[in-house]
Every structure is written in C-alpha cells, then in structure tokens.
Structure 1
Amino acid sequence: MKHAPISTLTQHLVDHGPDHPVLFFAPERLHHSARVFQQGFPGLTTYAVKANSDPGVLENLVTAGLHAFDVASPAEMEAVRAAHPKAALHYNNPVRSEAEIAAARAYGIASASVDDLRGLMTIAPLGCEIAVRFKLPVKGAAYDFGSKFGATPEEAEMLLRRAADLGLPLAMTFHPGTQCTDPEAWAVYIQTAARIAARAGVRLGRLNVGGGFPAHRYGQAPDLHRFFTRIGEAVVQAFGADTPALVCEPGRAMVADAFALATRIKAVRDTGAIFLNDGIYGGLSELRDIGPSDRIRILSPQGLRRQGAAEPHMVFGPTCDSLDHLPQPLALPGDATEGDYVIFDGMGAYSLSIATRFNGYGLGAPIAVTAL
C-alpha cells in the first residue's frame, strides 16, 4: 500500500458499488494516533503487531517515527523487518518452541517476556532483556489476559532473582486487559511491580505497562492523556527517584480509528433480520467477544445517509452457518434497505488480522483513502 490514497470512502462506494466487504484505511489517522502516543506517553512506544500486521500499517508507522515493535511470532518479526530492517523487536509472547527461539536469535530480538522458569531458561542464552510478566485480578477491561499469561507476584519475584543471577538486563511487564477504560488499573499494576522488584532485591531497567489502551468505540473518544498522566504519576509514586524507563505496546488504540469496514445489506427479512455480506467469520469476527460499538452509519448506494428512526435488527453474516450472527441486535435506521452500505467505524484492530475466507467470503486488501 505504498500508493497515495485514492478518494474518500463514500466516493469509492458510489463510484464502484462493491458487492463485497471493503476495509478502508486512512493513513493520516494512523499518523495522528502515532503522534498521540509519541508525544504523550512518558516513554518508548512500541506497536503490537498482532492488532493489524498489514504492510501498509507497518510502513506508515515507520514513516511516523516508530522504531520498536511488539511481536508474537517469527512471521511478525519478518513483517516488521520488511518495513524497518533495524527496528527493535520486543518478543512478548512468553510461550515459544525451539524453532521460534532460533528465529528470535536470528532476528536479533531486543527484549523477551517470560512468565515461568522454563521460559526464562530457554530464552536466557539469547542474552536479551528479560521482562517478567505478572498478572493481577484487576477489573476494568473488556476481557482479561491473565487467564492465559502471567506469573503470580510470588513467581515473578523468583523469576527476577533468577534472571539477575544470570546477569540479564531486567524488566517487568503486564497487560491490564483489552479495551481497559480505567487508568487506575495501570496504577495498581505499577505499584505491585515496584513491590515485587523491591522484594526480589533488584533494580528494573524498564517497565512495560502493556497495551489495553481503549479505542473509540462508544460515545466520545477516550482521552488517552488521562492514562498517560496517571501512569507517569504512579511510576513516580511507586519507584521514587529510581524510576525505570517506561515502555507501552498499544495495538487497538493505535490502529483502530484508522480503518472503517464497509459492508452491504444483502437481504432484509420480514422478521426484520438483516443479512450482511460480512459477519463473524470475516471482518466482524471480534464482535462476538467484545460486542458492537455505536459507531455505525448507513449509506444508500448514492452515498446518502439513512436518517430513519433506529430500530433493533438481528444481523446475520453471509455464510451458511447459523452461528454467523452478531451477539446482540443492532439499532439501525428503519429506512435501511437492501443494497445499502453498513459502515462500521473504528475497525482497524482485530478485523483483518483474524478474518477468515470461510464459504468463500472475507476481506481483500485494504483500500487507502483520504478520508473515512
């Protein structure tokens, strides 16, 4: 996606009338998100590649000045290297096979997270920074990551001591959970990290405060500076004058608002049920777990906004699978009809990256536009 954006989303729909779902990408919005983090977060901003690994996204983030990336697999390492051959790679998937560790060595990772002793001992020979990942029962996110990754505070203390004995650069990391709307979640984790490090008798070179920053899904866009300010305050309160350098790894909050997904109504049943040309096996996959946002608009084939009174509709996807429906009804204009476009804004995260081609449906390459 190195070519210039072609037009606005609406003009493209009017001119081309696509019958397939289209993911539209506005590069300037991505550059804006990058500036928000780079200018506001009090430390190093890395990008969580898992949210959207499209080459156009990575190339634009490099152009915007990012030089460090959070990667979870050799494939993501390769994708980042293609966009920035000298980028710093933070390998924060703590479960790795021997082949993956060999790939990490070949790519020259700068940091790696661990949450158990085996993981520490297998990655230690690389000599990179070790970020001990821990978990807490902190609420405030759409769903929690602690059920899969993270050591208990007691385990984290032991891992820090072992890493220190091995002479490795020390860090800690955590993840408050996706779409976390409470800045205090970060404060609790930061305070706990300081206590763990103190009990272990070590000094942290860096503290990775994870991702989880909320994207704009409902009402007003979240004020990310509230999160940045609270993180900065909490680090000073917890660590005093000996504060570690900070790292964050936004995915959703970095890329979500730079994309919109245009779907089309295939049918409106007498029951009010609406069938779209995309669903939970495609670009709307994540809505099964996180639910739809209220950032939805309906356009006629001529590009005019539908203004009818909102009515609840059960929404099905295009596949021959009865599971292919949104988890709850959507409030859509009562004058919406077959052939109209249903635009889901804020769809840059976990749409393209987890979409399938089930039943021959799915997303093509994103189309760059000047405005969504």
Structure 2
Amino acid sequence: MGLTEGRWAKTIWDNPAEIIRTLTPENPVMVFAPTVLQAAARRFHEGFPGLVTYAVKSNPDEAVIRTLTAAGIKGFDVASPYEIDLIGRLAPSAARHYHNPVRAQAEIAHAVEAGIRAWSVDSRSELEKLFARVPAEDCEISPRFKLPVLGAAYDFGSKFGSSPELAAELLRAVAERGYIPSLTFHPGTQCNDPAAWESYIRMAAEICEAAGVKVRRLNVGGGFPSHRVGGIEPDLTAIFDRIGQTTAEAFGPDTPALVCEPGRGLCADAFSLIARVKAVRDGANVFLNDGVYGALTELPQIGNLDRLQVFSPEGTLREQEPQPRAIFGPTCDSLDRLPGEMALPADIQEGDYVIFHGAGAYSLVTNTHFNGFGQMAQLTVKSLL
C-alpha cells in the first residue's frame, strides 16, 4: 500500500481539522458524524408526538440509513422504485411510505410487488391509477393538499398538492372504495414557522369535515429545518409542540395518529463539506473546488450555508475579521456561483479549506461530474468541530 493510500485508510477521524492537517485533500471531502445523526433521531423521537419517518431522497447513503435504523427510525418515505428496494434491503422490517404523488404505471406495479401499503395522491387521474392497480385491503391512501407558502425557503405546492376542495373529494373516494383514508401535506422546505403547521392541520380538520371522513393518520410532512445560519438554531421543540396542540384542538375526539417525514431536519447537520480554495483572484473573489454542480447544488434555491470555518493547510483556524466575498465553484460555467456574497476571513489564502457545516441534505445525492469535477471522498469523524 502506498503512502497516500495508507493515510486515507484510517476508519474514523477526530474532526475535519485533523483530516485537513493529515491529508491536505485536493478534492472535496464530505465528512459524516454518526453521533450527530443519532442525536437528531433522538430529538425527533422525544419531541414529535407520533411516528418519525425519514425522507430517503435527502441523503440515501447506506451509512445514513443504517445509522437511523439503529437509532430507532422505523419508517421511511420512499419516492422511487430505487428507494423502495434500498430500504427493503437495508431495513426490511421498516414501513415504507410511497408519497411521491405522481407515478408511472410500471412504478405502481413495482411498488405493489414490493408490498407497499401507504400511498399519497393529489389528483383524480392519479387516484384512478391507484384504484386500478393497488389492492384495497390494508392499504392507506393519503390525499395531499396545499396552502399558500408560509415561512419556508421555497414552495413545494408549486408542483404537488391539491386544493382543499379537491382533497375532500379524493378523501371521500378513498374511503368509499375501502382503502384506509388518511391525509398528508408538506409546508415547504426549511420551514421555521410553527404557524405553517398549524394552518395546515386546521385545514386538514376542515377537509375531513367536508368529506365526512375520519382519517386514520395525518402526515405533517417534512420541511423541518436544519441549522443553516450561524447563531440561529431552529426551535424544533416549538414546532413539535404546536403540531401536537393544534391537532388535539382541531380534531378533538377524532384526533388521527401523527406521522412526520423529515429529510433535511434529520440528516443535514450530521455532515460537513470540506472544500479547498483554488484561488483568491486579485485578493477578492474566492474560487473553490466545489460549487453548485457539486455538493452545493441547492444553495442558489434556498440560500447559503453560512456556518463556515476556514482552515489553513496546517489545520489552523483563520480568525481575522470576515469580509464579504463572491464565491465561485470550479467549473467553466458562470452560473457556478453561490448566491450573493459570504463573509470569509480577511486572511483567507489559496490552498486554504472552507468547511460548510450542515451540508448533509441534497448534496451527496445531487453531486455531478460536470466539467470533469465532482470527485468527492467520504470520511467518518467523531466530531464536526
């Protein structure tokens, strides 16, 4: 084994700074702290008043799935045949909720064959496809509805979700055909406002009243925020409490069992991205070896991760007064730029490393190899700081 291979062969590192000092990696490195993911799972288990499931699409890495399963997560939101089979292999006893509301005929057939029992829907045409292929016995169908976006980074309702009026119609049809009637919604990604969940839950109760149907479960979706902004940690407890209180008030004796399906809220903070500075052009703009075609794909849509640290190649923290700078990725595409400007230490230099904390969601899974970049290592650490 060569020297370089031996240095990379270590199984668990202390923290990102040790990786920088020891390896001085030329390509991006995504570091994973299982203890942080375990703590996030405990926080949801202890705080959310119902079943906690994980949205696989946010980060389907096998280490993530195995860690969550060991931490007690017993359900997964699967959005494709690949994810259905992945969870069937890694967590065969877990519940799988197929809550992508638009599916091809072949995808429905695959899911039925795999034993999927929980589905969502947001249109008459898609509901008819389920009626034609999904056996009613012990199968749940949850109409998904939408409201105007409130307190989220972007609006999922622009693509998915029916009007409340249509949701009541769909719910009534589900019950009449002998399926288990439930409801679901998604308040939008990175939603920090508990009032968003309250509005949706109260509307869910109105939908049930309009349909004349008592629902078995209410899935309050994902949208739970991760810690993206320095010094402002999301108040998940306030969100959990509002969900429980509002459900009891809105439904009274007909209160349904609650389900949530966080993706970002579970996995994001368990990962940090180490990117190297390729250049500081004329002392101003910073060019990194990763960008919006890599692990930072979603930043132009929902805003920057500003929980940053900058280290020298020796692993020393840069601590000079931060200055606003434009940050570009490595490709030849001018779109490869993080939004706005970000505050970086005045003494940042070529060869330094920028660590983006909270980078575990929609990063590994969206990383591309455009323009010949995108080679990314994955390492495990005891701590991210």
**In 1, Cα distance between the equivalents of 2:377 and 2:97?**
27
**In 2, Cα distance between the equivalents of 1:86 and 1:123?**
24
**In 1, Cα distance between the equivalents of 2:91 and 2:192?**
32
Quick check: 1:352–1:363 contact (8 Å CA) kept in 2?
no
Q: Secondary structure of the residue that 1:235 maps to in structure 2? A: helix
Deviations along 1:24-69, whole A, 9 cap, x unmatched? 0000000000001111100000000011001110011111111210
**In 2, Cα distance between the equivalents of 1:325 and 1:21?**
16
Quick check: 1:23–1:363 contact (8 Å CA) kept in 2?
no
1:364 corresponds to 2:376: yes
1:90 corresponds to 2:102: no
Q: Secondary structure of the residue that 1:138 maps to in structure 2? A: coil
Aligned to 1:256: 268
Aligned to 2:362: 350
> Gapped runs of 5+ residues in structure 1?
none
Aligned to 1:111: 118
Aligned to 1:235: 247
Aligned to 1:286: 298
**In 2, Cα distance between the equivalents of 1:306 and 1:235?**
48
Q: Secondary structure of the residue that 2:218 maps to in structure 1? A: strand
1:187 corresponds to 2:198: yes
Quick check: 1:256–1:348 contact (8 Å CA) kept in 2?
yes
Deviations along 1:186-213, whole A, 9 cap, x unmatched? 0010000001111100000000000101
Which of 308, 312, 326 pairs up with 1:314? Answer: 326
Which of 113, 134, 157 pairs up with 2:168? Answer: 157
Quick check: 2:327–2:337 contact (8 Å CA) kept in 1?
yes
1:37 corresponds to 2:37: no
Aligned to 2:81: 74
**In 1, Cα distance between the equivalents of 2:375 and 2:30?**
7
Which of 7, 18, 30 pairs up with 1:23? Answer: 30
**In 2, Cα distance between the equivalents of 1:40 and 1:181?**
16
- Per mean C-alpha deviation after superposition, the further-off stretch among 219-228 and 279-288 is 219-228
**In 1, Cα distance between the equivalents of 2:122 and 2:11?**
43
Deviations along 1:83-123, whole A, 9 cap, x unmatched? 11122110010000011001111221121000011211212
Aligned to 1:13: 20
Which amino acid letter does the alignment assign opposite residue 32 of structure 2? F
| Pairing of 1:165-180 with structure 2 (within 5 A) | 165-180=176-191
**In 2, Cα distance between the equivalents of 1:297 and 1:286?**
20
**In 1, Cα distance between the equivalents of 2:375 and 2:308?**
19
**In 2, Cα distance between the equivalents of 1:56 and 1:356?**
20
1:53 corresponds to 2:60: yes
**In 2, Cα distance between the equivalents of 1:247 and 1:4?**
36
CA 1:183–1:325 in 2, change beyond 3 Å: closer, same or farther? same
Which amino acid letter does the alignment assign opposite residue 198 of structure 2? A
Q: CA deviation at 1:293?
A: 2.6
Quick check: 1:283–1:363 contact (8 Å CA) kept in 2?
no
Aligned to 2:153: 142
Quick check: 1:257–1:345 contact (8 Å CA) kept in 2?
yes
**Equivalenced residues, count:** 370
**In 2, Cα distance between the equivalents of 1:33 and 1:295?**
18
Which amino acid letter does the alignment assign opposite residue 36 of structure 2? R
**In 2, Cα distance between the equivalents of 1:103 and 1:258?**
32
Q: Secondary structure of the residue that 1:14 maps to in structure 2? A: helix
**In 2, Cα distance between the equivalents of 1:210 and 1:54?**
21
Deviations along 1:134-182, whole A, 9 cap, x unmatched? 0011311000000100010110011011111101001000000000110
Deviations along 1:270-289, whole A, 9 cap, x unmatched? 16111100010001111111
Q: Secondary structure of the residue that 1:240 maps to in structure 2? A: helix
Aligned to 2:342: 330
CA 1:4–1:121 in 2, change beyond 3 Å: closer, same or farther? farther
**In 2, Cα distance between the equivalents of 1:138 and 1:292?**
20
Q: Secondary structure of the residue that 2:222 maps to in structure 1? A: coil
TM-score w.r.t. structure 2 length? 0.94
Aligned to 1:132: 143
**In 1, Cα distance between the equivalents of 2:68 and 2:38?**
7
1:265 corresponds to 2:277: yes
Q: Secondary structure of the residue that 1:339 maps to in structure 2? A: coil
Which amino acid letter does the alignment assign opposite residue 196 of structure 2? A
**In 2, Cα distance between the equivalents of 1:231 and 1:37?**
13
TM-score w.r.t. structure 1 length? 0.97
Which amino acid letter does the alignment assign opposite residue 157 of structure 1? A
> Gapped runs of 5+ residues in structure 2?
1-9
- Per mean C-alpha deviation after superposition, the further-off stretch among 182-191 and 318-327 is 318-327
Which amino acid letter does the alignment assign opposite residue 174 of structure 2? A
Q: CA deviation at 1:313?
A: 1.0
- Per mean C-alpha deviation after superposition, the further-off stretch among 190-199 and 284-293 is 284-293
Quick check: 2:149–2:157 contact (8 Å CA) kept in 1?
no
**In 2, Cα distance between the equivalents of 1:230 and 1:254?**
19
